[in-house]
Amino acid sequence: MPIAAPESFISFETPVPTPTGRDLLVKINAISVNPVDYKIRQNSAKDIVLPQPKVIGWDATGIVEATGEAVTLFKPGDKVYYAGDLTRGGCNTEYQLIDERIVGAAPATLSITQAAAMPLTALTAWELLSEKMRISEKDKGKSILIIGGAGGVGSVAIQLAKKVAGLKVIATASRPETIDWCKQMGADAVVNHKNLVEDVRTAGYKEVDFIADFADVNGYWDAIVELIKPQGHISSITGSSTPVALNKLKNKSVSFSWEVMFTRSMYQTDDMIEQHHILNKVASLLNNGTLTSTLHTTLHGFTVENLKEAHRLLESGKAIGKIAIGY
């Protein structure tokens, strides 16, 4: 449904749910928006009328109001932040049930909107760099190309790659404001995605050790194949409607992996609690100043109008960093 449609968002009432098992009942005080929000909104009711309104939203901060009988990680009154679970209702609501294993203690030094901007993108960037690419201290000084540097995930990935992993970071951006943003996040070089191979080489890198795609894996595939070093690693979050030509990586013995932040919660994986640990590590890095919030735009008041505006900004393709709404 187009965001301009009168009923793209509506306000309605539901009973406050009761937590059981490992669920927390969280009273939400701020949210942020991500591309997954508008993609699900656009696809949810293309050809049918839903039997009931769909609650979306996957980034929130709030306070634990009550806990299920199996909860061990949190107690009522705790301030938390999280991204959520695609198989359950989202955070565009006053109260939400959320599994404690995908929740972290909210960063103490950030405002509620600054904190709400972080969970989904931080989890995605952390999992991609640390788990999919297996970047560690041994890789300090190596190079990474981040395609889509000024977006929500790219903004966190630049910081993690530079300030935590010690990599040389090349990020893509094309407008003066997005170039400046990538530099603020810590990029060593910013190149134009429209002339990727030439610009990366002009920046002094014939090839790079790692490539993270946050924009369009097939759209940049030939450039990615040319720029990746032999035995390097490529990872993408963007998906593709057509097969990715992995055969082009064979002679270089290059590895490729997908990253989907929701995999753990969607499939209730044995290591689901890792997202709790990652969020706590990210909070520590935010609290000590190693990382900074990627919040760029704040809207005040949890209203239908502000949700529409947040989605409109995100769908424009010109958003920088994250957009948050404070209750």
Average per-residue pLDDT for the chain: 95
pLDDT in tens, 47-98: 556 667 889 999 999 999 999 999 999 999 999 999 999 999 999 999 999 9
pLDDT exceeds cutoff 90 at 46: no
Residue 169 pLDDT level (bands cut at 50, 70, 90): very high
Tell me if the domain spanning 122-258 has CATH number 3.40.50.300.
Answer: no
- Mean pLDDT score, 301-323: 92
Q: Say how far residue 127 (Cα) sits from the centre of its chain.
A: 10
- Mean pLDDT score, 249-275: 98
Strands 143-147 and 95-99: unpaired
Residue 47: count other Cβ atoms within 10 Å of its Cβ.
4
Closest CA to 8 of 43, 34, 60, 36: 43
Q: What is the pTM of this model?
A: 0.95
Closest CA to 185 of 147, 155, 215: 155
Dihedrals phi, psi of 249, to nearest 5 degrees: -95, -10
User: How far is it, in rounded angstroms, from Cα 175 to Cα 177?
Assistant: 5
- Mean pLDDT score, 219-229: 97
Residues 6+ apart with CB under 8 A from 4: 312
**For the chain, how far is it from start to end, CA to CA, in angstroms?**
25
Residue 327 pLDDT level (bands cut at 50, 70, 90): confident
Task: Parse the chain into domains and list their residue ranges.
Answer: 23-118+263-326, 122-258
Measured at the CA of 113, the angle between CA 93 and CA 294, to 5 degrees, comes to: 125
Note whether 60 and 82 are within 8 A (CB): yes
User: How far is it, in rounded angstroms, from Cα 38 to Cα 157?
Assistant: 22
| Domain 23-118+263-326: which CATH number of 1.10.357.10, 3.30.930.10, 3.90.180.10, 3.30.830.10 | 3.90.180.10
Closest CA to 268 of 69, 105, 133, 102: 102
User: How far is it, in rounded angstroms, from Cα 80 to Cα 108?
Assistant: 10
pLDDT at 48: 56
Q: Is 64 exposed, middle or buried (0-12, 13-18, 19+ CB in 10 A)?
A: buried
pLDDT at 275: 98
pLDDT at 4: 80
pLDDT exceeds cutoff 70 at 130: yes
- Mean pLDDT score, 167-190: 97
Residues 6+ apart with CB under 8 A from 265: 84, 85, 86, 87, 99, 102, 272, 275
Higher-pLDDT residue of 141 and 48 is: 141
User: How far is it, in rounded angstroms, from Cα 292 to Cα 59?
Assistant: 17
